[in-house]
Amino acid sequence: MILNLKLLNTLVINELYFERYSVEMKKIDIQKELSADNIRMEISAMQRRLEAIYAGGGEKKIQKIKAENKLPARERVALLLDKDKPSIEIGAFAGYEMYSEHGGCPAGGVIIFMGYVHSRLVLVVANDPTVKAGAWFPITGKKNLRGQEISMENRIPIIYLVDSAGVFLPMQDEIFPDKEHFGRIFRNNARMSSMGIPQIAAIMGSCVAGGAYLPIMSDEALIVDGQGSIFLAGPYLVKAAIGEDIDKETLGGAVTTTEISGITDYNVPDDKTCIATIRSLVEKFGSPELTGFDRVKPIQPKKNPEEIVEIIPDDRGKPYNTIEVLERLVDNSDLTYYKENYGRTIICAYARIDGWAVGIVANNREVIKTRKGEMQFGGVIYSDSADKAARFIMNCNQKKIPLVFLHDVTGFMVGSRSEHGGIIADGAKMVNAVSNSTVPKFTVVMGNSYGAGNYAMCGKAYDPRLIVAWPTAKIAVMGGAQAAKVLLQIEMSALKAKGKTIDPEFEKEYFEKIKSKYDNQTTPYYAASRLWVDAIIDPKDTRTWISMGIEAANHAPIEKFNPGVIQV
């Protein structure tokens, strides 16, 4: 009887334990599902923002373009690129929520795509005349230069579809005179020509003043009869300057430029014929010399990329298993880990993405327990992980393997122990290796990208061939709460020095005000609007971006790798 009671008590206790365990597991599952739903909503919100951007200057202006027998910019690009091949858009969020005092500038007033023409990889730059008649805002110039930079770095042909009223005069001081302003574009035209990079330009609308140099400095220029015009000074300026009355067709229309001045090469009757002619020209390009990055037949990941949103928490402070993310990005979900059990807050691994061999450097967001029993924070770069990453990056340069960096980093470890251990020197090794790396680098900001961690992980300043962010990304010197606390302390000290009494409620309100402003500046949209990243993408599209990026990079030779002086 006593044994039966003991057994009964044990069964009851076990049942209660399993019941509580089941409840806790259900709570965890519910939290994960809510987190995944939040990220899916972020992706949906991103798509809605993009749809608004695709409308350019609005439906009325699009209809006006069509009434003039012209195709809208996005339709021109779609007609030019192969329909059965993938394409990626560079800088769709450029200018997002900027220039509100001037009515905004969707996509920076210019559309840039990397895609294929007759299976030849090209870059297309198309002015959008529905946005302030295609006028150049400061971000427009920056975006055009980014397009040329991608073309130059990768030695891929570039096609310009020109339809622009020229510099946006109210902001001319921010686009005209500096090194990275408007004039740099024409300098790049000349440099690209000397590098042997094919450039084709189509004058499909206005092309005035300094902007007239772009198509004429290209290898070949087409002009659409009746709608294209090109001149240094338009009819109004000619009248004001020398008193001559002349219309734009006589001054610089298709007949004038192909039969009298000879500055353009092809007179075409309409947009569709223009684009068909460009496609015909590209079809006859000679085959490029390839660098020879290793590629085999692509294999889809064993684990579904759609599940990435279920792994990354919507709370950027929570840890997660980064390896589970990587296994949903690489071919066959197969990774070969380098120094797997050393410097574990950074994962270094060889893998394939869409058949291309890659070296992956990813921040590990799991909390790590070392063999010494110490705990290391996930997403923080320690001395050992910096050492490992630096060596791995140098190995990839030695073997001509492209590098893929995946950010979720809060920075380098701080404190006396790290400083005495030489964290600055170890971080310098990694920064040195990234800076001098000559194999193509590609960067994906998955989550946090803070402080010097952004630099060491090949942020924008370190010349990644392409850099993209997921909607979960945060880019800043530090997190919003930490920054707000620092700024609050400075502000409160200043107010107290003036003899002001600070009550807790005022301090709380001030903190929230600072944090809100700072948080807005850390969003991927803030970064993408200023072209700190090339795009915000759905995580499941990451493979396409990296694959097309490596294919582009395969057209350019690799310089000799020389890491210089390495800190010890």
- What pLDDT score was predicted for residue 173? 83
For residues 406 and 353, give the distance between their C-alpha atoms in angstroms, rounded to a whole number.
14
277: Cβ contacts below 8 Å, ≥ 6 apart: 222, 266, 268
Q: Give burial (CB, 10 Å; 0-12/13-18/19+) of 174.
A: middle
Radius of gyration for the chain, computed over Cα atoms and rounded to the nearest angstrom: 28
Between 8-12, 79-83, 244-248, 450-454, the lowest mean confidence (pLDDT) is in 8-12
Look at residue 87 and tell me whether its pLDDT is greater than 60. yes
Strand partners, 352: 357
- What pLDDT score was predicted for residue 398? 96
For residues 502 and 510, give the distance between their C-alpha atoms in angstroms, rounded to a whole number.
11
- What pLDDT score was predicted for residue 477? 86
Return the CATH superfamily for domain 56-283: 2-enoyl-CoA Hydratase; Chain A, domain 1 (3.90.226.10)
Structure tokens at 442: 């590609």
- What pLDDT score was predicted for residue 480? 74
Average pLDDT for 348-356: 98
Distance of CA 422 to the CA centre of its chain: 33
pLDDT band at 522, cuts 50/70/90? very high
Look at residue 434 and tell me whether its pLDDT is greater than 60. yes
What ranges do the domains of the chain cover? 56-283, 305-477+522-553, 480-521
What are 189-224's pLDDT values in tens digits?
A: 999 999 999 999 999 998 887 778 899 999 999 999
pLDDT band at 179, cuts 50/70/90? confident
Average pLDDT for 2-19: 58
pLDDT band at 172, cuts 50/70/90? confident
pLDDT band at 9, cuts 50/70/90? low
This prediction has a pTM of: 0.91
The full length of the chain comes to 568
Look at residue 1 and tell me whether its pLDDT is greater than 60. no
For residues 411 and 420, give the distance between their C-alpha atoms in angstroms, rounded to a whole number.
17
Nearest CA among 15, 503, 547, 549 for reference residue 299? 547
Same fold flag, 56-283 and 305-477+522-553 = yes
Average pLDDT for 247-255: 92
Of the chain, the percentage scoring pLDDT greater than 70 comes to 95
pLDDT band at 29, cuts 50/70/90? low
- What pLDDT score was predicted for residue 113? 98
Q: Give burial (CB, 10 Å; 0-12/13-18/19+) of 317.
A: exposed
Between 1-10, 405-414, 461-470, the lowest mean confidence (pLDDT) is in 1-10
pLDDT band at 22, cuts 50/70/90? low
What are 305-341's pLDDT values in tens digits?
A: 999 999 999 988 899 999 999 999 999 999 999 999 9
Q: Are 462 and 513 in contact (CB under 8 A)?
A: no
What are 62-80's pLDDT values in tens digits?
A: 999 999 999 999 999 999 9
- What pLDDT score was predicted for residue 501? 75
- Of residues 168 and 21, the one with the higher pLDDT is 168
Of the chain, the percentage scoring pLDDT greater than 90 comes to 70
295: Cβ contacts below 8 Å, ≥ 6 apart: 355, 356, 357
- What is the 3-state composition of the chain as percent helix, strand, coil, each rounded to the nearest 5? 50, 20, 35
Look at residue 11 and tell me whether its pLDDT is greater than 60. no
What are 276-310's pLDDT values in tens digits?
A: 999 999 999 999 999 999 999 999 999 999 999 99
Q: Are 114 and 534 in contact (CB under 8 A)?
A: no
What are 109-166's pLDDT values in tens digits?
A: 999 999 999 999 999 999 999 999 888 899 999 999 999 999 999 999 999 999 998 8
Nearest CA among 256, 363, 269, 260 for reference residue 316? 363
Half-sphere exposure of 494 (CA within 13 A, CB side): 6
- What pLDDT score was predicted for residue 358? 98
Q: Give burial (CB, 10 Å; 0-12/13-18/19+) of 372.
A: exposed
Exposure class string for 530-565: b at 16+ Cβ within 10 A, else e: bbbbbbbbbbbebbebbbbbbbbbbbbeeeebeeee
- What pLDDT score was predicted for residue 519? 85
- What pLDDT score was predicted for residue 12? 56
Q: How far is CA 120 from CA 171, 276, 285, 288, 359, in A?
A: 37, 15, 9, 9, 26
Look at residue 170 and tell me whether its pLDDT is greater than 90. no
- What pLDDT score was predicted for residue 24? 52
For residues 489 and 237, give the distance between their C-alpha atoms in angstroms, rounded to a whole number.
56
For residues 254 and 204, give the distance between their C-alpha atoms in angstroms, rounded to a whole number.
10
State the pairing for strand pair 441-450/474-476. Answer: parallel
Q: Give burial (CB, 10 Å; 0-12/13-18/19+) of 484.
A: buried
For residues 212 and 231, give the distance between their C-alpha atoms in angstroms, rounded to a whole number.
6
Nearest CA among 539, 32, 47, 24 for reference residue 315? 32
The fold adopted by the segment(s) 305-477+522-553 is 2-enoyl-CoA Hydratase; Chain A, domain 1 (3.90.226)
Look at residue 19 and tell me whether its pLDDT is greater than 60. no
Average pLDDT for 411-437: 88
Mean pLDDT over each residue of the chain, to the nearest integer:
91
Q: Are 223 and 258 in contact (CB under 8 A)?
A: yes
What are 471-521's pLDDT values in tens digits?
A: 999 999 887 777 778 777 887 787 778 887 777 887 788 788 888 888 889
At 447, is the secondary structure helix, strand, or coil?
strand
Look at residue 373 and tell me whether its pLDDT is greater than 70. yes
Look at residue 257 and tell me whether its pLDDT is greater than 90. yes
Angle at 218 between CA 164 and CA 176, to 5 degrees: 50
- What pLDDT score was predicted for residue 313? 93
Strand partners, 474: 448
- What pLDDT score was predicted for residue 15? 61
